[in-house]
Chains A and B, each alone.
Chain A
Amino acid sequence: MGMPKAMVDRKKCLSCGGCISVCPQDALSMEGMKALVEDDKCISCAICIRICPVGAISGEVYS
């Protein structure tokens, strides 16, 4: 099992773009007005999870 990677709850995301602006790996982008994580770029730093103002990002372990 790998480290948990960021995952965006599309129902909660309000498309503020904060997570995209701080991602050190440029692993996030806006897709259909919701943030989307490219999980092969994600290094599990959890910065985006902590900064989301509405708690729309969580850590998920991908199998």
Chain B
Amino acid sequence: MKYDCVVVGSGPAGSITARFAAKTGAKVLIIERRQEVGVPVLCGEGISKKIDEWNMLESRRWIAGDMEGARIYSPDRTCVTLSAEQAGNETGYVVYRDIFDQELARLAARDGAKIMMNTQATDLLKDKDKIKGVKVKHFDEEFEIEADIVVGADGVESKIGKWAGINTTLKPKDLETCAQYTLTNIDCKDAYCDFYLGKQIAPGGYVWVFPKGKDVANVGIGILASLSESGMAKKLLDNFIANEPRLQKGEPIRFLAGAVPVTNPVETTVQDNLLLVGDAARHVDPITGGGLTHCLEGGKIAGETIGMAVEKQQFDQETLSVYETGWKEAFAKKIKRNYMVKEILLDMDDKTLNMLADSLKDVKFDEISTLGLIKALVLKHPTLLMRLRPLMKVSKEV
């Protein structure tokens, strides 16, 4: 059977793309190499409440915790508290990603998408240079799936882009390598997502504690891959937990590893008969490492673009570029700006981060303004202004 569109990967970006394409009447197939959608979870499981406005999910079973805000701890443990609205992408809900992903896949199926599990893409199916679908392996059986459009929703390690000649290889300085326990028997009565910064704690990244109930939380670490040594993420996370009074008694019920692109988005996400979505397109905030909201926003645009292309029976790059224009308008600027900010933050030593936190700790963030921020900095740590000049420059440019 020939499909209008085959989506490689049943993560959030894949399922949303498939759903919005199927809604228009397109024949859509999702292939997933795993035996269960959403498992294993590879995520810190935080998401912004922006998701409520989009009405893309129906049940609330995927919500583990409803957060009031975020607390950022500098290396000397000065705490800056942010309300949920100010804290950005990753604070809002803590979710069960397995249930979340399965809910999105269910809705894709409801709207007409087919799903094939245990099916790994092994190559693009091409006729000369033209993409005609994917070659797959389903258990021991190898076969071809024909489709007018192939969607690479195959995550951080994306092969679809590479097979199509798009260079998606990440530099180690543009990858966060992560490890995470779900710890029980700990105290997290406060509904706050906590972030801990410092060169000793998590070089080029942070440790997070995301509550999923009053005595259970995801406790994870991301470190910049260029600063990592073999097994370092897990070792530093174990150290952190052993030295943190409220986590010491914790017992793990899950352990997982992760990898998060912290780079600029892929510039060309569209080719004749092909597009890339989600982590495969590097649609991730380079500061926080959060990508779920971009997956949903970008995936919807991708799905609608596919629907339009199927209607016209035109699958060339120009027709599909409606998707690229759409996601660039929606969030490319923000990702690029935050990439520059990430580079500046990486240059800051622990002392600077401490001064910054000390300047910000009493600022009421619902009244934040650039002027207020500068006043707070000048009053407390005038020398900081010099170090923050690159940041000011970025905020002026974009």
- Which A residues from 1 to 55 make CB contacts under 8 A with B? 14-18, 20-24, 26, 29-30, 33, 47, 49-55
B230 near A22 (CB under 8 angstroms)?
no
The 8 A CB mask of B253-275 against A (1 = contact, 0 = none) is 00111110100000000000000
* Chain B residues, Cβ within 8 Å of A47: 172
How distant is B10 from chain A, measured CB to nearest CB, in Å?
Answer: 14
Q: With the chains together, A20 CA to B258 CA distance in Å?
A: 12
B177 CB-CB contact with A under 8 Å: yes
Also in contact, A16 and B169, with CB within 8 A (given A53-B231, A53-B233): no
CA distance A11 to B259 in the complex (A): 18
B42 contacts A16, C-beta separation under 8 Å = yes
Q: Do A33 and B34 touch (CB < 8 A)?
A: yes
Contacts of B178 in A (CB 8 A): 16, 53
Task: Count how many chain B residues have C-beta atoms less than 8 Å from C-beta atoms of the other chain.
Answer: 34
Closest to B173 in A: A22
Cross-chain pair count, CB within 8 angstroms: 93
Return the contact of A21 from the options B34, B120, B156, B255 (Cβ within 8 A).
Answer: B156
Contacts of B34 in A (CB 8 A): 33
Given contacts A18-B156, A21-B157, A24-B169, contact A55 B33 (CB under 8 A): no
Q: Are A30 and B228 touching (Cβ within 8 A)?
A: no
What chain B residues lie within 8 Å of A52 (beta carbons)? 177, 230-231
Contacts of A50 in B (CB 8 A): 172, 225, 228-230
Max chain B C-beta neighbours (<10 A), residue from A17, A21, A29:
A21
CB distance from B141 to the nearest CB of A (A): 15
Please pick, from B120, B225, B230, B255, the residue contacting A18 in the complex, using a CB distance under 8 A.
Answer: B225
How far, in whole Å, are A22 and B156 apart by their CA atoms in the complex?
Answer: 10
A38 to chain B, nearest CB (A): 13
A-contact 0/1 string along B165-187, CB 8 Å cutoff: 00011111001011100000000
Q: Is there contact, CB below 8 Å, between A26 and B162?
A: yes
Do A51 and B177 have beta carbons less than 8 Å apart? yes
CB nearest to B159 among chain A residues: A29
Q: Is B250 an interface residue (CB 8 A)?
A: no
With a CB–CB cut-off of 8 A, which chain B residues contact A30?
Answer: 33, 120, 157
Of the candidates A23, A49, A54, which one forms a contact with B233 in the assembled complex, judged by CB atoms under 8 Å apart? Answer: A54
Q: How many residues of A contact B (CB 8 A)?
A: 24
Is the C-beta of B40 less than 8 angstroms from some C-beta in chain A? Answer: yes
From A31, which residue of chain B is reached at the shortest CB distance? B120
Q: How far is the CA of A16 from the CA of B155 in the complex (A)?
A: 10
| Chain B residues whose CB sits within 8 angstroms of the CB of A14 once the complex forms | 40, 255-257
Q: Do residues B257 and A53 form an inter-chain contact, with CB atoms below 8 A?
A: yes
Determine if B261 and A16 form an interchain contact, defined as CB atoms under 8 angstroms apart.
no
Interface centre among A15, A26, A53, A55 (most CB of B within 10 A): A53
Q: Are A21 and B175 in contact (CB under 8 A)?
A: yes
Question: In the complex, A47 Cα to B141 Cα: how many Å?
Answer: 33
Could you tell me if B225 and A22 are in contact, using CB atoms closer than 8 angstroms? yes
- CB atoms of A55 and B40 under 8 A apart: no
- Are A54 and B257 interface neighbours, CB within 8 A? yes
Using a CB–CB cutoff of 8 Å, the interface residues on chain B facing chain A are 33-34, 40, 42, 120, 155-159, 162, 168-172, 175, 177-179, 225, 228-234, 255-259, 261
Q: A residues touching B (Cβ–Cβ < 8 Å)? A: 14-18, 20-24, 26, 29-30, 33, 47, 49-55, 57-58
The 12 listed contacts between A and B (C-beta, < 8 Å) are A14-B40, A14-B255, A15-B40, A15-B42, A16-B177, A18-B258, A21-B170, A29-B157, A51-B228, A53-B258, A54-B179, A54-B231
- Apart from A14-B40, A30-B120: 17 A-B pairs, beta carbons within 8 A: A14-B256, A16-B42, A16-B178, A20-B157, A20-B159, A21-B157, A22-B169, A22-B172, A23-B169, A29-B157, A30-B157, A51-B172, A51-B175, A53-B177, A53-B179, A53-B258, A55-B230
